[in-house]
Amino acid sequence: MVKVKLFAGFRELAKKSNFDISLGRDISLNEFISRLCDEIPALKKPLAERNAIIAVNHKVADEDTVIKNGDEVAIFPPVSGG
């Protein structure tokens, strides 16, 4: 199971902050994003059009990142603290 966490604008668009996705096998980040958009169609447009940062286990991911059961995947906009 992958723990998914959404923050800021993404959390508000999806109307949820946490949910789980169960994977049959390890998948690429791109496959994971498609899976995410199937689960929550409200995320499809913002993930395609807006800047999204994806962190896996607290580290910013890139297209080579592989997602596996047990991972924590967070999706958020560019940061704006301070």
How far lies 73's CA from each of 8, 47, 63, 79, 82, in Å? 15, 14, 14, 16, 24
d(CA 70, CA 81): 29
How many CA atoms lie less than 13 Å away from 30 in the CB half-sphere? 2
Q: Select 1 or 8, whichever has its Cβ closest to other proteins.
A: 8
Figure out which of the listed residues 41, 49, 58, 62 binds other proteins, where binding follows CB under 8 A.
58
25 or 58: whose CB is closer to other proteins? 58
* Number of residues lying near other proteins (CB under 8 A): 17
Binding interface with other proteins (CB under 8 A): 5, 7-9, 11, 51, 53, 55, 58, 74, 76-82
